[in-house]
Structure 1
Amino acid sequence: MAVADAQLVVEVSGAVATVVIRNPSRRNAMTLAMWQQLPVLLDRLEADPAVRALVLTGADNTFCAGADLGDLDELLSTGDAGVAVAAEERLAAFAKPTVAAVRGACVGGGCQLAVACDLRIAADDARFGVPPARLGLVYPAPTTRRLARLVGPAAAKHLLFTSELVDAARALRIGLVDEVLPDADLAARIDRLTAMIAERSQLSVAAAKEIVDGRADDDRLAWWHGQLQASGEAREGVSAFHERRPPRFTWTPQPGDTVGRRPVG
C-alpha cells in the first residue's frame, strides 16, 4: 500500500462519530500527516451539536502500531512541542466523551492516543506497549504524566522501563483499560455504551468530564451551576424518573462553551 492510503477516516452514525486509524501497510501506524489531521477532525466534530460521543479505533484488527518511524527526524527535533503531543492534547481536551475501541496492537503512539481517551474498551486479543526504552527515545512529558495518572507510578514505570507488551488481562488489572471482551462482542458493547452516553444529559456529562479532568475552576463551576438552573435538565430528569419514562434532555453546548478548556493550575 502507498503512503496515500494512510489516513484518518470519520464515520458518523446518529449521535456517535467514529475516527478510524487507517494505514494498512504499517499496521495503522500514525504518519506525520495523520498526527496533523487529527486535531482538525476533532475541531470539526466538537463543533457539531449532533455528535455526542466519539469512538477512536483502528482499521481491520489492529488499533495502532505507534508513530511511523519514517518521521523520526521530525519527532526528535520537536520533542514535547511536536505534532504527536499536540494531537494527544487535543484529544484529551475534546469536550465530549471519547472511547478507544482496541483490537490487536496498541503500541507507542497508539497507546498514547488510547490513554488520551476517556474510556478504553479492549478485545481480549489486544496488546499494549510503550516502547521508547527499546528505541532509545524519551517519551514526552505530558504523555508520561497522563499514563502515570491512569495506571499509577509503578505500573507506568514498568511499561516505560521494559517496553514489554502486556496482554488485555494485565491491562485490565493495572487500569490501563476499563473492560475486556471477546473480539466478537466488542462492536456491540461499544454501540451500547456510546448510545447510553448519548442519551444522558449532555450538561451532566460535559460538566463531569471537565471536573474529573481538572479543567473547572471556581468561576467555571459557578457557570455550570448557572446552566443547571437555567436549563431545566434536573427537573426533566426527576419528572421522567417519577413518570417511568425516558427523559427528554435538551441542553446542548453553544459555540465556545466547552472548547479549549485546559487543566486548571
Structure 2
Amino acid sequence: MAVSDAELTVEVTGAVATVTIHNPARRNAMTPGMWRRLPVLLDGLEADPAVRALVLTGAGGTFCAGADLGDLDELLDAGDHSIAVAAEERLAAFAKPTVAAVQGACVGGGCQLAVACDLRIAAQDARFGVPPARLGLVYPAPTTRRLTRLVGPSTAKFLLFTAELVDAERALRVGLVDEVLPVDGLTDRVDAITAAIAQRSQLSVAAAKEIVDDRAGPARIAWWHRKVRDSGEAREGVAAHHERRPPNFTWSPSDRH
C-alpha cells in the first residue's frame, strides 16, 4: 500500500494486527496527527473478532525516536491531558495482548508507547531513553507511574533524571524489555509469540490481562470464573490435553461484556 511521509499503517495477517509507525524524515517521530489516529485504529482492531493480538513496530529499522513537540505552549497547557497521553492510555487499555517489536531508537514518545504494550521484544540494536529532563519538561504522571511499575522506582528515576540512552542488554536486565534478539531474528520471534497467543484460550488471556493490569475487582473476577464454567473453555482444554490434540477454543473477546 502507498504510505505518506508520516502515518500509521495497519496490516492484519491471520489473527495478528501489526501497526507500523512510519515517519522516515523524523526517525518515526509521532506527529500530532499520528497521536490522534492511534486510538481510532485501536478501536477498530479491538472490535474485530478476527484479531487476537497486536504488534506495534516502526518502519525502516527504527521504532520511534520520540514525539513531534509541535506547539510548545499547547503542549505545556495540555499537561497530563495531551493527545500523546490519550493515545498511550488507549494502547494500555487495549483489550487484546499487545507486543512492541523494537529495533533502533525507542525514545521519548516511542518509549512511552512501548511501555504501554504488554510485552516488549527488542533487537540487539535497540536503544531506550526518556528525555524530558533534557528538554525541561515534566513527564506525564500516568506515563511516569506506568514506567515505575514496570522497572521499579530506582531505574525509573535513573531514566528520568539522567535522560541517558540505555542499550538493549541493560533494558533486559532492568525489566524494560522481555527478550533481546539479533536484528535478523526479531520478526520471527515476535511472530512466534503472537502465534502462540492466538492459539491460546482467549478467555484465559483476556482475564489474565485484566487481572495483571489491576483492572478487575472482586465482582469482575467472579464474572470471569462464571465465564470459565459457562463457556466450556476449561472442559475443552482439559479434554484436549488428555487426548493429546490441539484444543478448539471458541470463546471470543466480543463476549467479555
TM over 0.5: yes
Structure 1 residues 106 and 71: CA distance shift in structure 2, 3 A? farther
For residues 126-165 of structure 1, give each alpha carbon's deviation from its aligned partner in whole angstroms, at most 9, with x where no partner exists: 0000000000000000000000000000000000000000
Task: Flag structure 1 segments of 5+ consecutive residues without an equivalent.
Answer: 259-265
| Cα distance in 1 between the residues matched to 2:4 and 2:224 | 44
Q: C-alpha separation between the residues in 2 aligned to 1:236 and 1:27? A: 47
**Which residue type is aligned with residue 73 of structure 1?**
D
Q: In the alignment, what sits opposite 1:262?
A: none
**Aligned-partner residue type, residue 49 of structure 1:** P
Identity of aligned residues (%): 78
1:177 paired with 2:177, answer: yes
1:150-189 matches, within 5 Å, as 150-189=150-189
More displaced 10-residue stretch of structure 1: 105-114 or 216-225: 216-225
Query: How many Å apart are 1:236 and its aligned residue?
Result: 0.4
SS in 2 for 1:18: strand
Structure 1 moving runs of 4+ over 6 Å:
none
| Contiguous gaps of at least 5 residues in structure 2 | none
**Alignment partner of 1:8: what SS?**
strand
In structure 1, the residue matched to 2:193 is: 193
After the TM superposition, which of the residue ranges 196-205 and 67-76 deviates more from structure 2? 67-76
SS of 1:60's equivalent? helix
Whole-angstrom CA distance in 2 between matches of 1:254 and 1:9: 24
Residues 80 and 140, structure 1, Cα contact 8 Å, conserved in 2: yes
The code of the aligned residue for 1:5 comes to: D
2:238 corresponds to which residue?
238
Root-mean-square deviation (CA), in Å? 1.2
The whole-number CA distance in structure 2 between the counterparts of 1:63 and 1:99 is 12
Name the aligned partner's letter for residue 183 of structure 1: V
Q: State the match for 1:78 in structure 2.
A: 78
Return the offset for 1:77. 1.7
Q: TM-score, normalised by structure 1?
A: 0.94
Q: Determine the structure 1 residue equivalent to 2:148.
A: 148
| TM-score, scaled relative to structure 2 | 0.97
The answer as to whether partners of 1:32 and 1:71 remain within 8 angstroms in 2 is: no
Matches within 5 A, 1:1-265: 4-254=4-254, 257=256
Q: What is the CA deviation profile of residues 58-87 of structure 1, one whole-angstrom value per residue up to 9, with x for unaligned ones?
A: 001100001112343332120101110000
Measured in 2, the distance between the counterparts of 1:73 and 1:189 equals 42
Secondary structure of 2:184's aligned partner? helix
Q: CA deviation at 1:179?
A: 0.2
Give secondary structure in 2 for the equivalent of 1:192. Answer: helix
Question: Would the aligned equivalents of 1:30 and 1:68 in 2 still touch at CA under 8 Å?
Answer: yes
Shift of 1:4: 5.0
Aligned partners of 2:75 and 2:149: how far apart in 1?
24
The 3-state SS of whatever aligns with 1:21 is strand
Q: Distance in 1 between the 2:253 and 2:206 partners?
A: 9
- Structure 1 SS opposite 2:60: coil
What is the number of equivalent residue pairs in this alignment? 255
Query: Could you tell me how far apart the structure 2 residues matched to 1:169 and 1:118 are?
Result: 19
